[in-house]
Amino acid sequence: MSDRNPSPAGGPLVEGPRDPEHDATAAYALEPDYVESLTRRILATTAATVEVRSPLNDAPLAHVPQSSAADVAAAFARARKAQQAWSRVSLDDRAAMLLRLHDLILDRQDEIIDLIVWESGKARKHAFDEPLHVALTARYYARTAHEHLDTQRKLGVVPALTRVEVNRVPKGVVGIISPWNYPFTMAMCDGLPALLAGNAVVAKPDAQSMLSALLGAQLLEEAGFPADLWTVVAGPGAEVGPELVARAGYICFTGSTATGRLIARGCADRLIGCSLELGGKNPFLVLRDADLERAAEGAVRASFSNAGQLCVSMERMFVADQVYDRFVERFVSRTEAMSLGASLDWGVDMGSLISQAQLDTVVRHVEDAVAKGARVLTGGKARPDLAPYFFEPTILEGVTPQMTCFGEETFGPVVSLYRFHDEADAIARANAGEYGLNASIYSQDGARARAIARAIKCGTVNVNEAFGATFASIDSPMGGMRESGMGRRQGSEGIHRYTESQSVATQRLIRFAPMLGMSDATYAKVMTANLRLMKKLGRA
């Protein structure tokens, strides 16, 4: 593995004091006025702030104001008022704003990427995925707005005499609780269809990545979305999260399964809906006929993109006996050739973990596995020489159920390899446990791989790709099965979750009751004959 020294790539930076004992990035910080312009967007009246430091070099990034329960209540009051006016804005005008946002994101992508890297420590090429994904989401929903939201005609019980229409009515104010690992994407992509559907949003991004989310809110306003339609609050999840659940018309949450359960209970108490994308222990299958070079390349991205801090990344690889040794040789070689570093520049293959807590989890999982007999094929060590929370991309062999990392999500750059002989056994092992978010299958027989995919209990399955094919296909739903969540983002499900379906039926000429002097018995015979006729005519 090669290491790269950081070098700033421009953006809202200011040069600071240089320390020859530290890397070049330590000589830079975010412009204070720029940070203040973002944090002012948080609705917070308390004097409390929380310091956020960069995982690149442990330099302070911001002091984030903290919202109180009263601030959250005020945010919802503002949002409800804004939503009432917004719901009367035409669908075409809403879509036009999304298209303006699309262009703004592409024009400002360097600024967005800089901020993401500063907050998350991820490699610049992985930060680039975020504005790309949000722009794709904005364009998709703008272009398909009428397809998803226009009133639709449905079959009536009596042809020509019963007219039925289904309207899509906005929920009102949606609460979005987003995580730190993809701070721009996760803060934005779920809220855009909510806005298009006529809702307002109150957002609570994670404290570690607040600035990227605030920049997204600023771009929404620049694209023409009204003030108070997207309000940001801040604070500990255990305190602010329940306040959102208590007031929202719908909750969208991305995070841990444990927290997802709490949110689901709170939503159930209020009889409101929620969508939850939760944890995963995602399987990667390499079949005996796989293109091994392609599979090894995909395995590197599947395991080590964003240092493994990706909900759809792979932590379990099942490889056919016939190709196991050749695949492992290629996978290890590609992993050891990766460029590692904490940098704002292009050219780094893997960046840092985001925090000490994430580093502690990764170290604990690897040390536990090694102590119980697992073999480290490459990596396995923290690298404080690169960044405070850096851990090498790590491949383990010989992981057993007694080891913590066998079934518990690591959420770091650690993957375990397993042999299989029978594909039915590989499917069963891939389905073991309670998670079911994402899977990958590598085979040169696409039809066979797709047939196997139907047997995998995951919400998304990629064939001959790590995760990007499903993640970037905005027309298709994305989400988890079992303990990996409920509900879906993207596609029609990703926007319909923010609406109530309303059926409106208009009846002509006849009524559904005896008429023209009929008795109840005669009416029953007429309706029975009508049902038989409709069946003969092929009616649904």
Total residue count of the chain as it appears in this document: 540
Sign of the CA dihedral 282, 184, 254, 120?
A: positive
Radius of gyration in angstroms for the set of CA atoms belonging to the chain, rounded to a whole number: 26
Query: Which one from 130, 243, 277, 409 is the annotated catalytic residue?
Result: 277
Dist. CA 316–CA 426, nearest whole Å: 11
Measure the CA–CA gap between 369 and 375, rounded to whole angstroms. 8
> What is the 3 state secondary structure string of 215-241?
HHHHHHHHCCCCCCCEEECCCCHHHHH
Residue 499: exposure state from Cβ atoms within 10 A (0-12, 13-18, ≥19):
buried
208: part of which helix (H) or strand (E)? Answer: none
> Virtual CA dihedral for 96, 100, 102, 105, nearest 10 degrees?
-160
- Beta strands at 173-177 and 200-204: parallel, antiparallel or unpaired: parallel
Cβ atoms of residues 186 and 253 within 8 Å: no
Burial label for 164, CB within 10 Å (0-12, 13-18, 19+), is: middle
Contacts of 436 (CB under 8 A, 6+ apart): 280, 457, 458, 459, 480, 481, 482, 483, 484
Active site residue 311: yes
Show the beta-strand stretches assigned E in 351-393.
375-378
86: closest CA among 166, 176, 197?
197
How many Cα neighbours within 13 Å face the side chain of 85?
9
Distance, in Å, from the CA atom of 30 to the CA atom of 17, rounded to the nearest integer, reads: 13
Does the annotation count 277 as an active-site position? yes
Cα 358 from chain centre: 19
Distances (CA, A) of 507 to 14, 120, 433, 504, 525: 69, 58, 52, 10, 21
Q: Say which amino acid occupies 493.
A: E
Distance, CA of 337 to CA of 494 (rounded, Å)? 39
362-364-365-367 Cα dihedral, nearest 10 degrees = 120
- Residue entry with tokens 């009751």: 513
Q: SS3 string of 307-336?
A: HHCCCCCEEEEEEEHHHHHHHHHHHHHHHH
Exactly one of 189, 267, 311, 458 is catalytic; which is it? 311
DSSP bridge partners of 53: 60
What is the bridge-based pairing of β-strands 339-341 and 438-442? unpaired
Q: Which residues have a catalytic role annotated?
A: 277, 311
